[in-house]
């Protein structure tokens, strides 16, 4: 049994950093583990232009802890009104790494998202031409579709046709949650990849109802069945280059989750790598963690791999009940529980 695990420094390919005081509260958790992170644009109002992304990037850089060289990789939020010229500006900026497709109404702060994929056809064509990746929240929003079937439906209704129509477009199917998504990604054409969160590797949907309703396990896409979780574990720990780390760490103030209508989002940035290590260890595949966390992501995005390392040590530590967050607190994943791996401070 190994006591230490050293890997090339990982990156987080899907992260919510928020803004203002909240940003200052959560960024140190990410910056101590990850060299880079793909920063989601679902602020209020959303980051829809390269100019807004430039300003947001400056606020993130200014919020970094002293001495940190963490690099935010910015994304633009696609709307029905995004223009192909905006794609050119994004590509020329050097700091926008992709554009995010939120089907309107699919998740937190997605009301300005795309109402019909055909409306952004010219934008997707320009992205393919300029080689700018598309990040997708892959869920249909139709009322008649069961919330647990929304990802699977999205594959057939939107993703498969989109991947065929824009054959040169690189697509990241984000935070996949189902066996159907794993199967799609494995058998899709070149240029399709997926990120997987720690919560979807560690929990099935029972966790939301264990002994009562547990709002801190509610995220979107929602947790799925045990067979889905097993398929995700197999994919993540297979070493397959199309699957890589994206925490989807999504902090919300405690009172907005512990409410009659609670927000979607799980906060995992405080212990992201430790949580993934636990999942990989249970599969007996700790040796594949580096590919998932540190190699497959940069290779897909065509960015250099990091050159420094991080080390995890086997030791028990207790996750705090809450962390300061803006004017309140955020309840982290595994609050009050014991984790068996810990990042060694460098
Ligand atoms: C995210 C958030 O809170 O911004 N919530 C979530 O449950 N994952 C939005 C998202 O990524 O869907
Ligand atoms: Zn997200």
Residue tagged 């008649």 (tokens): 144
Nearest ligand 1 atom to the CA of 220 is 7
149, pLDDT greater than 80: yes
Domains of the chain as residue ranges with CATH: 10-306 (3.20.20.140)
For the stretch 177-200, pLDDT in tens is: 999 999 999 999 999 999 999 999
3-state secondary structure (DSSP) of residue 242: coil
For the stretch 123-146, pLDDT in tens is: 999 999 999 999 999 999 999 999
Cα-only R_g, the chain: 19
Query: Looking at the CA of 15, which ligand is closest?
Result: 2
| Banded model confidence at residue 345, pLDDT cuts 50, 70, 90 | confident
Once rounded to an integer, what is the mean pLDDT over residues 332-341? 98
Name the token pair of 166: 């824009």
Phi, psi angles (nearest 5°) of residue 134: -110, 125
Residue tagged 């002994």 (tokens): 211
What is the pLDDT, as a whole number, of residue 1? 64
Once rounded to an integer, what is the mean pLDDT over residues 191-216? 98
What is the pLDDT, as a whole number, of residue 194? 99
Q: If we measure between CA atoms, which residue out of 198, 197, 218 comes closest to residue 207?
A: 218
Cα 210 from Cα 238, distance rounded (Å): 30
Q: If we measure between CA atoms, which residue out of 71, 73, 46, 52 comes closest to residue 61?
A: 71
2, pLDDT greater than 80: no
A 10 A CB-CB count for 182 gives 26
Q: Probe ligand 1: pick from 220, 247, 256, 261, max atoms within 8 Å of CB?
A: 220
Positions marked active-site: 248
Name the token pair of 61: 């850089």
Pocket flag, ligand 1, residue 107 (CB < 6 Å): yes
- Tell me the CA–centroid distance for residue 346 and ligand 1, in Å: 30
Residue 235 contacts residue 196 (beta carbons within 8 Å): yes
Distance of CA 96 to CAs 121, 183, 186, 293, 322, Å?
20, 29, 27, 21, 33
- The DSSP bridge pattern shows strands 192-196 and 243-245 to be parallel
**DSSP code per residue over 200-215:** HHH--GGGGGTTS--G
Residue 272 contacts residue 40 (beta carbons within 8 Å): no
Cα 90 from Cα 247, distance rounded (Å): 24
């Amino acid at each position: 049994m190994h006591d230490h695990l050293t890997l090339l420094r990982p990156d987080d390919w899907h992260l919510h950093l928020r803004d203002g005081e909240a940003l200052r509260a959560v960024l140190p958790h990410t910056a101590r583990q990850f060299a880079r992170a793909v920063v989601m644009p679902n602020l209020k109002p959303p980051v829809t232009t390269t100019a807004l992304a430039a300003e947001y990037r400056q606020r993130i850089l200014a919020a970094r802890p002293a001495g940190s060289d963490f690099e935010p990789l910015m994304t633009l939020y696609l709307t029905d009104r995004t223009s192909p010229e905006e794609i050119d500006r994004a590509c020329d900026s050097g700091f926008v790494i992709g554009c995010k497709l939120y089907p309107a109404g699919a998740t937190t702060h997605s009301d300005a998202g795309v109402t019909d994929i055909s409306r952004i056809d010219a934008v997707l064509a320009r992205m393919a031409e300029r080689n700018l990746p598309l990040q997708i929240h892959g869920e249909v929003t139709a009322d008649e579709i069961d919330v647990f079937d929304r990802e699977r439906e999205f594959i057939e209704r939107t993703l498969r046709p989109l991947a065929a129509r824009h054959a040169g477009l690189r697509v990241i199917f984000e935070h996949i949650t189902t066996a159907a998504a794993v199967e799609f990604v494995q058998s899709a054409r070149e240029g399709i990849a997926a990120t997987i969160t720690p919560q979807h590797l560690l929990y099935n949907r029972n966790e939301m109802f264990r002994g009562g309703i547990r709002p801190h396990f509610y995220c979107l896409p929602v947790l799925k069945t045990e067979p889905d979780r097993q398929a995700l574990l197999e994919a993540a720990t297979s070493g397959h280059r199309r699957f890589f780390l994206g925490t989807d760490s999504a902090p919300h103030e405690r009172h907005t989750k512990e409410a009659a209508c609670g927000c979607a989002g799980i906060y995992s940035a405080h212990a992201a790598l430790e949580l993934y290590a636990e999942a990989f260890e249970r599969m007996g595949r700790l040796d594949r963690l580096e590919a998932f966390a540190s190699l497959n992501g940069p290779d897909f995005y065509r960015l250099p791999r990091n050159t420094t390392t991080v080390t995890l040590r086997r030791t028990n530590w207790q996750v705090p009940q809450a962390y300061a967050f803006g004017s309140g607190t955020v309840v982290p994943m595994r609050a009050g529980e014991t984790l068996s791996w810990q990042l060694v401070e460098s």
